[in-house]
């Protein structure tokens, strides 16, 4: 019996034998099919763009994948069984469904099974093989609807906008519209609008530590003179609170890309390419995940054991295993039920500098997830000088926990601000310096890529699999450009500003409504 195995990743072909059956492995390169309009819609100038909303769409083979399609037809004709090993996400489910439709047309007697896995290691691949399942057609259909809408909406408004600017402004450049790309540009444009329209607030003065602000310079100077004459003062209020500083929740794609961009200024699209490469090399788990929950401890311990002999992490891992802190993970809220969080699988060698930065971040983050929470003491002090209340707050680390080795936490980065001084109520203190500062409301900063990623996630623009491609696409189409290494400005801002409607095309409202409907019908 011939079993045809279709994968998205060639490295899945680690399974050598199944009950003495002949195994044939072949791989795809993403989606094999796409939606397109019928040929009579090809002319832009002779067809009203809005008629595309009512035009029939058809599925066609992507032109770059014709040879893959031909090879698939030959193999399907000789196979008795078909095992589909596409990625365990919604897009992977859609690819699997399209393959099954082609397979049923070529060979109606074919037995088709879906295999799901999250790590490219023989152990997990065999586990997927022992738990054969069927394709979730509801999920596959929802992606079909999404792709069809992207084609119709994108093509309609791209033609309408381009023709408008050709007729009105004599601009012959293509004005491309995408249901996800345009809202992405909208975030950048709205921030840019705030910067352009910014008005400085009223000038105000404040003594360092004072609760009140003064809007008159002479009054501020007069108070300064009185304060300088003050010698000793007594603490009138002291509050000490012990708090737990939680270790990170398990790593999802959004957090990975946003943090890597914030720390190393690496674009999210490049981060995902490298993460995919690490995944294919069986170094990390599946990197396109919306899950922040570990559902079992066995995988966690297995990963810790894999790195136990690495001198870079050995001490930390031994402490984690000895104290069994990995048994109490601070799981997050997000759980797509199809994947695990991102975690390291085995040590690596011969990585490039950028690959190492990302791989090491994933390892250190995972160890922080497994270690203990930190314990802090938060202190708040008040004194009264010349009827003016001054306050100061600081934090003492009582137990470092994961902060001992995790440099990416905000507390780790500001540790020099921590005070070892322990004061009590009624203690006398002697001020040594008085600082008077003048301030106005700060102008908004340009939107950084890591801010943009979180905005897109907040408003459901794209998915964990496509969000970073949308950012790259908007840049590629010259609608926005990168400045200061990781901030964006719109380059075709007037296109956004000139579009007027009750629900502007660049706001995320339309996309959110569509996504909510699709989610409702796919479950």
Distance between start and end Cα atoms, the chain: 35
Cα separation values, 169 from 178, 188, 461, 494, Å:
22, 24, 30, 12
Pairwise CA distance, residues 96 & 89, whole Å? 11
Site of tokens 């914030």: 262
Residues 6+ apart with CB under 8 A from 264: 357
Domain match, 412 and 270 both: no
Domain match, 126 and 8 both: yes
Tokens found for residue 177: 């519209």
* 158 within some domain: no
Domain match, 476 and 507 both: yes
Domain match, 266 and 379 both: no
Rg (CA), the chain: 29
Instruction: For residue 381, give the nearest of 240, 178, 215 by alpha carbon.
Output: 240
Domain match, 319 and 385 both: no
* 379 within some domain: yes
Domain match, 276 and 296 both: yes
pLDDT cut 70: percent of the chain above it? 85
Helix (H, G, I), strand (E, B) or coil at 342: strand
Q: What is the pLDDT of residue 505?
A: 59
Domain CATH code at residue 304: 1.10.290.10
* 302 within some domain: yes
User: What backbone torsions phi and psi does residue 501 show, to the nearest 5 degrees?
Assistant: -165, 170
Pairwise CA distance, residues 345 & 304, whole Å? 9
The domain of 349 spans 253-370
List per-residue pLDDT tens for the chain, 523 residues long: 888 999 876 666 655 566 677 888 888 888 999 999 876 666 777 778 888 888 889 999 999 999 999 999 999 999 999 999 988 788 889 999 999 999 999 998 899 999 988 877 777 888 888 899 999 999 999 899 989 988 888 888 888 878 877 776 666 677 777 778 888 888 898 899 889 888 776 666 565 666 677 777 777 778 777 777 777 788 888 998 999 999 999 999 999 999 999 999 999 999 999 999 999 898 999 998 989 999 888 899 999 999 999 999 999 999 999 999 999 999 999 887 778 999 999 999 899 999 999 999 999 999 999 999 999 988 888 887 777 788 888 888 889 999 999 999 877 655 544 556 678 888 888 777 777 777 777 888 999 999 999 999 888 888 777 888 889 988 888 888 899 888 999 886 555 544 444 445 556 666 656 656 656 655 5
Residue 503 is given by DSSP the state S
Q: What is the pLDDT of residue 445?
A: 92
Domain CATH code at residue 478: 1.10.460.10
Domain match, 95 and 221 both: no
Pairwise CA distance, residues 483 & 374, whole Å? 37
* 171 within some domain: no
Domain CATH code at residue 402: 2.70.20.10
* 100 within some domain: yes
Q: How many domains does the chain have?
A: 4
Domain match, 284 and 330 both: yes
Domain match, 347 and 416 both: no
Domain match, 450 and 435 both: no
Cβ–Cβ under 8 Å, residues 400 and 281 = no
Domain match, 22 and 84 both: yes
Cβ–Cβ under 8 Å, residues 239 and 377 = no
Instruction: For residue 459, give the nearest of 397, 509, 389, 423 by alpha carbon.
Output: 509
Pairwise CA distance, residues 385 & 151, whole Å? 68
* 507 within some domain: yes
């Amino acid at each position: 019996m011939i079993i045809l195995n279709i994968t998205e990743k060639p490295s899945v072909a680690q399974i050598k034998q199944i009950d003495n059956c002949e195994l044939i492995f072949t791989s795809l390169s993403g989606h094999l099919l796409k939606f397109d309009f019928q040929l009579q819609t090809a002319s832009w100038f002779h067809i009203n763009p809005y008629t595309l909303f009512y035009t029939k769409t058809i599925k066609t083979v992507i032109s770059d994948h014709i040879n893959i399609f031909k090879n698939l037809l030959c193999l399907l004709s000789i196979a008795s069984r078909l095992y589909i090993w596409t990625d365990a996400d919604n897009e992977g489910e859609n690819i699997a469904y399209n393959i099954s439709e082609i397979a049923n047309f070529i060979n109606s007697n074919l037995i088709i099974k879906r295999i799901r896995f999250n790590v490219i290691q023989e152990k997990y691949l065999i586990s997927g093989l022992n738990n054969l399942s069927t394709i979730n057609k509801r999920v596959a259909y929802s992606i079909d609807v999404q792709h069809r809408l992207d084609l119709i909406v994108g093509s309609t408004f791209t033609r309408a906008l381009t023709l408008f600017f050709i007729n009105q402004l004599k601009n012959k450049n293509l004005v491309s519209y995408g249901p996800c790309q345009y809202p992405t540009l909208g975030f950048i444009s709205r921030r840019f609008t705030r910067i352009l329209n910014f008005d400085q607030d009223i000038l105000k003065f404040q003594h360092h530590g004072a609760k009140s602000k003064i809007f008159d310079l002479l009054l501020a100077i007069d108070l300064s003179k009185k304060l300088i004459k003050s010698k000793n003062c007594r603490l009138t209020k002291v509050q000490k609170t012990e708090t737990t500083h939680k270790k990170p929740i398990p790593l999802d794609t959004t957090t990975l890309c946003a943090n890597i961009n914030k720390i190393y200024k690496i674009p999210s699209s490049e981060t995902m390419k490298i993460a995919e490469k690490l995944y294919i090399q069986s170094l990390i788990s599946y990197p396109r995940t919306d899950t922040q929950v570990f559902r079992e401890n066995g995988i966690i311990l297995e990963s810790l054991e894999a790195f136990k002999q690495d001198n870079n992490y050995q001490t930390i891992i031994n402490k984690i295993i000895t104290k069994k802190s990995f048994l109490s993970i601070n799981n997050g809220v997000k759980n797509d039920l199809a994947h695990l969080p991102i975690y390291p699988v085995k040590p690596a060698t011969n990585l490039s500098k950028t690959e190492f930065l990302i791989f090491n971040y994933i390892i250190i983050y995972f160890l922080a997830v497994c270690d203990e929470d930190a314990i802090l003491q938060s202190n708040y002090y008040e004194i009264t000088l010349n009827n003016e209340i001054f306050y100061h707050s600081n934090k003492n680390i009582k137990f470092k926990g994961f902060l001992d080795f995790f440099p990416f936490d905000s507390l780790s980065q500001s540790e020099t601000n921590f005070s070892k001084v322990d004061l009590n109520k009624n203690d006398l203190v002697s001020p040594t310096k008085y600082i008077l500062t003048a301030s106005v409301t700060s102008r908004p900063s340009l939107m950084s890529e890591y801010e943009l990623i979180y905005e897109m996630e907040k408003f459901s623009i794209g998915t964990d699999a496509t969000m970073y491609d949308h950012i790259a696409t908007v840049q590629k189409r010259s609608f926005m450009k990168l400045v200061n290494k990781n901030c964006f400005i719109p380059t075709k801002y007037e296109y956004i500003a000139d579009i007027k409607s009750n629900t502007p095309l660049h706001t995320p409202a339309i996309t959110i409504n569509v996504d909510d409907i699709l989610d409702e019908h796919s479950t």
